[in-house]
Structure 1
Amino acid sequence: MRVGVLEGVRDKPHATSLRAVWPAILGLSVVFLVEMLDNSVLNVALPTIARELHASTTALQWITSGYSLLFGGLMVAFGAIADRYGTRKIMLIGLTLFALANFAVLFVSTPGQLIAVRAAIGVTAAMTAPGTMALCFRLFDQENLLMRATSLIATVGLTGMAIGPTVGGLVLQIAPWQTLLVMNVPIALLAIGCIRFGIPADDPAKRNRSPLDLPGALLGTATIILALWTSTLAVEDGWASVTPWAAGLGAVLAAVAFVVRERRTAHPMFDFALLKRPAVSASLAYEAALGLGMAVIGFTVTLQLQLVWGWSPAQAALGNLPQVVVLLAVGPFVEKFVDRLGTHRAAIAGATSFLAGLLIYGLLGHLGYVWIAVALALTAAGMRVVATIAGVTVMRGLPEDQTTIGAAMSDTSQEVASSVGMAVTGTIVAAALGGSLIAVGATAGAAHTFEHAVTTATLALTALCAALIVWAARRGSLGQTPDPVTTDQ
């Protein structure tokens, strides 16, 4: 029996407007909002946590990286689980556990306990993240509505990312730091209610019926976690230390074992043949390019503003506003832009804007803030267009019973690429300075060395981004109807 990628999609009851399914859109937006808030809101409280829990620098690093490692590492595995046992069901379970994990912070009294809580939050967030796009995909048949819904969900999440540090700072003025996690509980409960009553229950007939490849899931998870950890260790300890090399070797060995396992097993967790589909591979390449490029800007802009130019933390936060403003402002126009140019040309145009922003930052960013502002605006506009198109296209290019793992792969590709970008940037900057970042602004020579290192790192990553984007564009399929995916049964 031959099964097409869109088989079963046409016989579903689809919404004809966003208003018709507003509880579902609200619930999915809230899920993305919680993920973005949890990434940023706690950072502002780290000094307070260090003081009250007597946490060391290493403990503070694990409070943040423990969450991100498990969140990024487990998304693909939970995507595969959701495709087999129900995307909506796994998301509701994940949200319930997410609320409980955040509530558990009230009982924390040591750094180790907080690390455990953050790790639990990372695991439960990984359960919910892949389902956001998969469930949104379930609601609509029209491409423009799917793109509009995706853009709206992203806008809510980006707003959370933008206001996270500000909200965190204001909350700390009037309440204990634990409030920053406890306030996720009512948000998660709202999401549970909206998804529970706004999205139909999973149809067992449309699940992936192949057995879950547990060894493959474990090897895939180990590969991603070790890859993310390698990047973290490279920035923190430097390549002179044995730890990043050991973690990197572990990641390579796990990746090789994963590929061998998936090619030999009768029921792979993910069918590598799907990566041959132009829509899928091009979309993942675009996502990886975005992760690489945003890593260097996210890592160095604030350092440039504060350490070289002497801006205060508050001024540096305002200095990043062009990026946030453009991300939010461009959202409502993405659909019209894609309608005018078509998805393929719109993706190329967005990617060109993204690359132009990176080049301006790398070549001119050290000359004055106006160039940084222009770079932030161009990269943000390009990222918003490309991310929306790639996110929708990779979902359209996969069989319906693998959409959740497809969404997880999209998120993971950007997450891993971002970590690689951070490692490259951190390595180049550390090699150039040969000392502490704090001393960058002490002399004109140190500031010049830092700026030269930033230029080198930015241009190197821009070249990698350009290679990925050119390859993706040559696939030439983001604006085309996916070819049928077939399986023999």
Structure 2
Amino acid sequence: MSADVLDVRETTRANSLRAVWPAILGLSVVFLVEMLDNSVLNVALPTIARDLNASATDLQWITTGYSLLFGGLMIAFGAIADRLGTRRMMLIGLSLFAVANLLVLFVRTPGELIALRAAIGVTAAMTAPGTMALCFRLFDQENLLMRATGFISTVGLIGMAAGPTVGGLVLEVAPWRALLVANVPIAVLAVICIRRGIPADDPSNRNATPLDLLGAMLGTATIILALWTATLVVEDGWGSAAPWLAGVGAVLSAVGFVVRERRTGHPIIDFALIKRPNVSAGLAYQAALGLGMAALAYGTTLQLQLVWGWSPAQAALGNLPQIITMIAIGPFVEKFVEKLGTHRAGPIGAAAVIAGLLVYALLGRYDYIWIAIALVLASAGMRVIMILATVTVMRGLPEDLTSTGAALNDTGTEVASSIGMAVTGTIVAAALIGPLTDVGSSVASAHAFESAITTATLVLTGICTALVVWAARRATRGQA
């Protein structure tokens, strides 16, 4: 073993990222795959439709089935990982993930691909909570945690930005199945790095309480139904019965989950821990982040293409300021937080997000330069919040709940993002007379769409502001 690589069998804490580079590489690769999986495959949907004779509904479920199970099962698998061992769960999940992706070679019908994508979503949910939980096992120093978290998330952001382009290039020379088969060697690399770079789970740090299976089932049902409701609202609108049925199911499951968790002696989510100032503040910041991302992602993509007539490729380039900013400022977040302190850095980052949303809502319809400014402001703030909130939440929980905490952190952002999309989609649908695809057909419809986007963005900005103010107050209490 190289002299500058820490032997994690002798000590579990490092004083630099270089000392545990195999672990950082492995965790970065895992996060990269999570960010790439849907974005890479989306570019292949037309090819898949032709090859498998898939309908529009089939294509919808090829992507939605993965997302629902990935988002819905993270908390349940996080709780299992805290009991079974986070590293062990990560290795099992990666192994199954590799096998599932390899099975795409045998897919011949849309139904088989939908089932396979669902299975991949389950295996991805097994690995996701462990990414940050294992990262926090490596360091004691706050600055190193932020540096490691920033590096891992930067790798994922690069993958997200490059994913559609890479997928398109692969499709020029290889069949669409290659996009999933490519995940196999990536997963194998992650397994090797994690086995070498992260120590085996210490039984004394595992959660010894029994797993609340009923609570896990109710929590999973709540999240899946909530995500599905948001999807149905955007696609079908509230005029259809499906969103209402799914929404009622989500509420009933949520009520059942809360009642169960309050009554059982061994809850999956201990509400007393969530009430800790630093934990609740971090989760509120993450929820604000999810809403902000939804407002910008939905609004800018549709505006550039439907109103201004940009091609999909041009629209993708139009969103580059967001990705470039997030990547560029990543290395400086640690110094920013160190200089100002977490109680100031969080509100400042959130204020940048809110400023970006306001610029987009009020000026985005007039010229692209305002959209670019909005994306830069919001993404800079998002980057600070993304790293700071993750560290805050994880540091506020006991070591035997880190996987559950990481899952709760990621799930909160995903659910908030879905809610933001549903809010925006509902307001836009209510403002339009014809279908969304006809927005660019007349000045009146384009104006109605832009006004609806402005209204939706302002509504979400108001909710974000309320969450940020509450989070800042909670964080201040945690500093006291």
Report which stretch shifted further, 50-59 or 361-370. Answer: 50-59
Aligned positions of 1:448-459 closer than 5 A: 448-459=447-458
Residue number in structure 2 paired with 1:406: 405
Aligned pairs for 1:383-402 within 5 A: 383-402=382-401
**Counterpart position of 2:195:** 196
Q: Which whole-Å CA distance do the structure 2 matches of 1:390 and 1:236 have between them?
A: 31
Question: Amino acid of the residue matched to residue 223 of structure 2?
Answer: I
Report how far residue 82 of structure 1 moved.
0.3
Q: State how far apart, in whole Å, the 1-side matches of 2:86 and 2:158 are.
A: 25
Q: CA deviation at 1:51?
A: 1.1
2:444 paired residue number: 445
Give the Cα–Cα distance (whole angstroms) in 2 for the partners of residues 87 and 285 of structure 1: 25
Deviations 1:289-322 (A, max 9, x none): 0101110211121111111111111111110110
| Preserved contact between residue 393 and residue 405 of structure 2 (Cα < 8 Å) | yes
Provide, for residues 313-348 of structure 1, a one-character-per-residue CA deviation record: whole Å limited to 9, x for no partner: 111111011001001001010011111101110111
Aligned residue in 1 for 2:90 = 91
Q: How does 1:2-151 map to 2 (within 5 A)?
A: 13-151=12-150
Residue 181 to residue 193, structure 1, CA distance change in 2 (3 Å): same
For 2:364, what is the secondary structure of its paired residue? helix
- 8 Å CA contact 1:343, 1:478 repeated in 2: no
- Summarize deviations over 1:78-118 as a string: whole Å, max 9, x none: 00000001000000000000011111111111110000111
| Distance verdict in 2 for CA 1:12–1:286, change over 3 Å | farther
Matching of residue 166 in structure 1 with residue 165 in structure 2: yes
1:450-484 C-alpha deviation (Å, 9 max, x unpaired) = 10010011000000111100100111349739xxx
| Residue 6 (structure 1) aligns with | none
- Contact 1:72/1:224 (<8 A) preserved: yes
SS in 1 for 2:394: helix
The 5 A counterparts of 1:160-309 are 160-309=159-308
Contact 2:12–2:137 (Cα < 8 Å) also in 1: no
Residues in 2 aligned to 1:17 and 1:434: alpha-carbon distance in whole angstroms: 58
Q: Which amino acid aligns with 1:16?
A: N
CA deviations over 1:251-275 (Å, ceiling 9, x no partner): 1110111111111111111211111
Aligned match of 1:342: 341
Is residue 2:368 matched to residue 1:369? yes
Q: % of aligned pairs identical?
A: 74
Q: Distance in 1 between matches of 2:475 and 2:306?
A: 43
Which residue in the other structure is 2:463 paired with? 464
**8 Å CA contact 1:283, 1:478 repeated in 2:** no
Provide TM-score, normalisation by structure 1: 0.95
Separation (CA, whole Å) in 2 of partners of 1:414 and 1:302: 20
CA distance in 1, matches of 2:119, 2:372: 37
User: In 2, Cα distance between the equivalents of 1:312 and 1:272?
Assistant: 47
The alpha-carbon deviation at position 12 of structure 1 amounts to 6.3
CA shift, 1:14, in A, is 0.9
Moved more, 302-311 or 20-29: 302-311
SS at match of 2:208: coil
Cα offsets for 1:126-150 (capped at 9, x unmatched): 0000001100000000000010000
Instruction: Quote the offset at 1:436 in angstroms.
Output: 1.4
User: In the alignment, residue 157 of structure 1 is paired with which amino acid?
Assistant: G
Counterpart AA for 1:453: A
Q: Is the 8 A contact 2:336 2:345 kept in 1?
A: yes
Q: Secondary structure at the match of 1:470?
A: helix
Given that 1:282 and 1:478 are in contact with CA atoms closer than 8 Å, whether structure 2 keeps it comes out as: no
Letter in 2 for 1:31: V
> Deviations along 1:197-216, whole A, 9 cap, x unmatched?
11000000110000001001
What code does the residue aligned with 1:89 have? Answer: R
Matching residue's letter, 1:136: C
Distance 2:389 2:477 in 1: 8
Q: Counterparts of 2:375 and 2:199 in 1: how far apart (Å)?
A: 40
Query: d(CA) in 2 for partners of 1:64 and 1:468?
Result: 30
Q: Distance in 2 between matches of 1:477 and 1:13?
A: 31
1:128 is paired with a residue whose SS is: helix
Q: CA deviation at 1:13?
A: 3.5
Q: For residues 110 and 432 of structure 2, what CA distance do their matches in structure 1 show?
A: 32
Contact residue 343 and residue 476 of structure 2 kept, 8 A: yes
Q: TM-score, normalised by structure 2?
A: 0.97
Conserved 8 A contact 2:54-2:110:
yes
SS of corresponding position for 2:16: coil
How many Å apart are 1:39 and its aligned residue? 2.5
Contact kept, 8 Å, 1:131 with 1:407, in 2: the verdict is yes
How large is the RMSD of aligned CA atoms in angstroms? 1.1
TM-aligned CA deviation for residue 240 of structure 1: 0.6
Secondary structure of 1:27 counterpart: helix
**Cα distance change, pair 267–245 in 1 and its aligned pair in 2 (3 A):** same
Looking at structure 1, the residues matched to 170 and 476 of structure 2 have their Cα atoms a distance apart, in angstroms, of 47
CA–CA distance in 1 between the matches of 2:267 and 2:324? Answer: 43
Name 1:318's counterpart in structure 2. 317
Q: Residue 428 of structure 1 corresponds to which residue in structure 2?
A: 427
Amino acid at match of 1:438: T
Contact 1:343 1:479 in 2 (8 A): no
Residue 187 of structure 1 deviates from its aligned partner by: 0.5
* Mapped partners of 1:88, 1:13: distance in 2: 13
Q: What corresponds to 1:473 in structure 2?
A: 472
Please tell me whether the aligned partners of residues 67 and 118 of structure 1 are also in contact (alpha carbons under 8 angstroms). Answer: yes
What is the rounded CA distance, in whole Å, between the counterparts of 1:460 and 1:433 in structure 2?
18
- In the aligned structure 1, how far is the partner of 2:261 from the partner of 2:11? 32
**2:3 equivalent in structure 1:** none
Structure 1 distance, partners of 2:293, 2:173, is: 34
Letter in 2 for 1:464: I
Show structure 2 runs of 5+ residues with no match.
1-9
Q: Which runs of 5+ in 1 are unaligned?
A: 1-10, 482-489
| Preserved CA contact (<8 Å) 1:99 1:184 | yes
**Deviation for aligned residue 1:391:** 0.2
